Amino acid sequence: MQLLIATHNRGKLIEYQGILAGLPLELVTLDHVGIKEDIAESGATFAENARLKATAYARASAMLTLADDSGLQVDALGGEPGVYSKRYAGEHATDAERVNYLLYKLKDVPAQARTARFRCAIAIASPSGEVWESDGTVEGEIAFVPRGKNGFGYDPIFYFPKLGVTMAELPAFEKNKISHRAKAGERARQILQRIAPSS
């Protein structure tokens, strides 16, 4: 059975292949099924955006669909960038530009005040409109300079004090144990184990 992962992001697909490994599902992306249009992330929360995308793409594809919305919340910035994480430095900014913009915003913030968290909300939708949801959070700090080559997005500046590394310095198998997407994905995996055989 195929599960549509509602993304054009190859890095995200690879993460889900690890998180959902062993399930009797073939993971395909929007590109694989020829869906070009993007659903506007107009929700006020990560969960709302995940639901919007999952239900719209499930209808468009007639497939069981998993969508997520995730982002970074920095306490010193009042929770920014939040649901605007991808668009924080502009609609077409690169990962490096987003990272540099966030570091600029935090240039005068001392280490002890750079607490932050990654949040991930997942929605799984059937073509008939049923929706199942999960979420996950991981706590850390914002580093002063990017470190590491793994991952994507804000991973190079999301620092784990207890581990002494950024998210981008973790090998994929380690990230897939502790990340916000891994936590939400594990709950989504349990949902899929229940619903996939009957979908």
DSSP string, 64-102: -EEEEEEEEEEGGGTT-BGGGGGGTT-TT--HHHHHHHH
For 110, 121, 138, 146, 152, the CA distances from 51, given in Å and listed in that order, are 37, 9, 21, 32, 23
Taking CA atoms, 80 is separated from 12, 50, 66, in Å, by 22, 18, 25
Among 157, 155, 154, 153, which residue's Cα sits nearest to residue 145? 157
Q: Which residues contact 94 (CB under 8 A, 6 or more apart)?
A: none
The active-site residue, picked from 31, 68, 69, 135, is: 69
The CA distance from 44 to 76, in Å, is 20
Give the separation between CA 85 and CA 73, rounded to whole angstroms.
8
Place of tokens 């900014």: 93
31 catalytic per annotation:
no
The residues assigned a catalytic role are 69
